[in-house]
Every structure is written in C-alpha cells, then in structure tokens.
Amino acid sequence: MNVCYIGLGSMGGRIAKHISRAGFTLTVYNRTVSKAKAFARKNQCGYDTSIKEACVGAQLIMMCVFDEAASWSVIKDIVAHAKEGTIIIDNGTASFEHTKRMGELCRQHKMHFLDGPVSGAEPLADKAQLAMSVGGEKAVLNKVKKILMTFCRSITHMGPIGSGQLCKIVNLLVGFHTKQGLREGLEFVQAYGLDKKKVLKVILDGSSYSYTAHKNAQGWVKGNLEKMVTPLTKKDSVIAVNHAKNKKLRLQATELFATIINK
C-alpha cells in the first residue's frame, strides 16, 4: 500500500519515520518544503512539493497538522487530487463537528475517512507506543491497521466518524487536571519550602503517578512549567470546553484550567 504523510511536525514527523522504517512505500509533504526534503533524505522516502503531487498513487493519506484551519485547507487539497477509494486519516486533535465535516467532504468525493487522534506525546511517539482512538468504518480501519501499528501500541475503534476525537478529548481532560495539579503542587511546595526532588519522588512512587507527571518531572523540579502548557494545550483546552458547552456540561475544573492557561 502506498502511503502519503502530510505534516512533519513534532508528532507527524515521528509517525512518518516509523512508517518508513517499517518498509512501507512512503511519500511525505510538509508546508515548509525544506523539512520534507530533509526528512526524505534522512529516512529514504519520497517527498513532494505540493499536496497535489504527494497524493498521486497514494492509497492511504495521513495527516497531522497544527489546527482545524490547517487540516481543513489540507483535506480540501487532498480530495481535489486523490483518487476515489483513497483512505484518509487525520492524526491531529480536532473537534467533533470539524471531524464530521472532514468525513462528509471525503464521502462526497468517494473517499474513506477515519479520525485517528493519538495520545502519548513525543516520548511515546519516539518509542512507537502511541495510543490511537479511531472513528469511522471498522472495515476501513482493518485495511490499514498494520500500517498504524508501526507507531501505536494500541488502536481502539470507538464507533462512527468523530468518536475517535471524542475519546481523545476525555483523555485530554484527565491530562489537564494532572497538569493543573502539578502547577498548584509547585506553588504549595514553594510556599512551604519543601524539597521539590523529595516531593517528586513521592508523587512518582505513589498513587499520583501518571505519564503526564513523569513527562513533566524535570521541568517541575526546575520550577519551569512552560513546556507543560504549549500552544497545542491551549488549543485543545478550548476544544474540550466547547464540547462541554455543546452538551450543557459544567466541567468546572476544565473551564478554569482553560481560562487560566489562555489568559
């Protein structure tokens, strides 16, 4: 199966590397072409300078771009140039509504769409240990599962298009609260003059251990939590709050977290 990967950022670049290493025929595209060129040289795969060219001959097109504006512009370009029957997977994090629109656009062009957001960030992406939640037809997923397993430790089919993203949002909620706990914990430690390294040992050895806590441990000890809240965290917090509002849910801690980090 010929694979095309679009968007070689922190996540997409790592994912594409595993697909290439597993021996699948891969062509990559990135908006900043120099990144695609460098990636292709390093990973011995093809690259193209436009989405139109990158789609030629692709049976599976995957993408991981920054936000919904980016994924909408990319998918419009894909459906204009890919052939009927192509399978398209979005590995980025997006809202349910946006994802349904992408699915509908693909359907109109007789292409198959799956939402396949990933969880695990860079460290687990490096180890090909991402957790993917998938929305869309199971039969379509089964056709490409072998390729997805080159970078995932688990692939969970959730249901129709958009349900992969809804699952990803729940995962985000849990991560947000750990992050806010670490932020408040740091303030507490500083106020009481506790030894951060000792407190961290207790957190990581005890019941509050989590991957998120582990991943942010070094920054926490240094009192530097900047890397914990990135532009992606801000984007994702807004997505989560909007979904809660759509269902008239009061996710108070999430709303507060989103307000704090976006101010």
Ligand X SMILES: NC(=O)c1ccc[n+]([C@@H]2O[C@H](COP(=O)([O-])OP(=O)(O)OC[C@H]3O[C@@H](n4cnc5c(N)ncnc54)[C@H](OP(=O)(O)O)[C@@H]3O)[C@@H](O)[C@H]2O)c1
Contact with ligand X (CB under 6 A): which of 25, 46, 66, 140? Answer: 66
Q: Which of 4, 61, 65, 200 binds ligand X (CB under 6 A)?
A: 65
Least distance in angstroms from the C-beta of 10 to ligand X: 4
Interface segment toward ligand X; rule CB under 6 A; list 5-13, 20-28, 79-87, 213-221: 5-13
Closest CA to 92 of 126, 68, 123: 68
Cβ-based nearer residue to ligand X, 31 or 196: 31
Sequence-ordered list of residues with C-beta below 8 angstroms from that of 149, at least 6 positions apart, any chain = 155
SS3 231: helix
Nearer to ligand X, 92 or 164 (CB): 92
Distance CA 123, CA 109 (A): 36
Pick 76 or 197: Cβ nearer ligand X? 76
Find the binding residues for ligand X in span 11-50 (CB under 6 A).
11-12, 30-32, 35
Q: Cα separation of 229 and 208, whole Å? A: 19
Say which residues have a Cβ less than 8 Å from residue 162's Cβ, sequence separation at least 6: 96, 97, 99, 100, 103, 115, 135
* Site mask for ligand X (CB under 6 A), range 99-138, x = bound: -------------------xx-xx----------------
| 72 lies in the site for ligand X, by CB under 6 A | no
Ranges within 202-231 binding ligand X (CB under 6 A): none
> CB-wise, 8 or 161, nearer to ligand X?
8
Q: Residue written as tokens 């985000």?
A: 172
What ranges make up the beta strands (E) of the chain? 3-6, 26-29, 46-47, 60-63, 87-90, 112-115, 118-119, 130-135, 152-159
CA distance 34 to 29: 10
**Is residue 251 involved in binding ligand X (CB under 6 A)?**
no
Q: Which is nearer to ligand X, 64 or 148 (CB)?
A: 64
With CB under 6 A as the contact rule, the residue among 4, 5, 7, 185 that binds ligand X is 7
- Pick the closest to residue 122 from 235, 239, 15, 250 (CA basis): 15
Q: With contacts defined by CB under 6 A, name the span among 38-46, 58-66, 172-180, 193-201 that binds ligand X.
A: 58-66
Residues within window 159-198 making contact with ligand X, judged by CB under 6 A: none
- Residue 108 has a CB neighbour count (10 Å cut-off) of 9
Question: In this structure, are residues 35 and 8 in contact, taking their beta carbons and an 8 Å threshold?
Answer: yes
Q: Which stretch binds ligand X (CB under 6 A): 10-18, 136-144, 200-208, 243-251?
A: 10-18
Nearer to ligand X, 12 or 185 (CB): 12
Residue numbers at the binding site for ligand X (CB under 6 A): 7-12, 30-32, 35, 64-66, 70, 73-74, 92-93, 118-119, 121-122, 232, 236
